[in-house]
Copies of this chain bind each other. A is one copy, B any other.
Amino acid sequence: MKADYQQLLNFVRSIFESIGCPQEDAALAAHVLVSADARGIDSHGVARLAGYVRLYDNGRLNTKPEVKILHETPSTALVDGDRGLGLVVAPKAMEIATQKATMAGTGWVAVQNSNHFGIAGYHALMAVEKGMIGWAMTHAAPLVTPTFSREKLLGTNPIAVGIPANEEPAFLADFASTAVAYGKLEILQRKGLDTPQGWVQDKEGRPCQDAFAIKNGGALLPLGGDREHGSHKGYGLGAIVDILSGVLSGANFGPWVPPFATAGFMQAGETVGKGTGHFLGAMRVDAFRPADAFKSDMDKWIRRFRSADAVEGKSVIIPGDPERELEQIRRLDGIPLLDPVIADLQALATRFSVNFKLD
Contact = CB atoms under 8 A, between A and B. Distances in A.
Given A230-B180, A304-B255, A311 B173 contact: no
A12 interface: no
Contacts of A249: 288-289
Nearest to A180: B230
Interface stretch (A44-52, A232-240, A348-356): A232-240
A288 B248 contact: yes
Contacts of A71: 287-289
- This protein's copies in its complex: 2
Nearest to A184: B228
B76 A283 contact: yes
B146 A305 contact: yes
B106 A75 contact: yes
Main secondary structure of the interface of A (DSSP, over half): mixed
Interface residues of A, number: 87
Interface of A: 71-76, 78, 103-106, 108, 110, 133, 146-151, 153, 161, 163, 171, 173, 175-180, 196, 198-199, 204-206, 223-225, 228-230, 232-237, 239-240, 242-244, 247-250, 253-255, 272-273, 283-285, 287-289, 293-294, 297-298, 300-301, 304-305, 308-312, 314-317, 319
A144 to B, nearest CB: 12
A319 B272 CA distance: 22
A247 B294 contact: yes
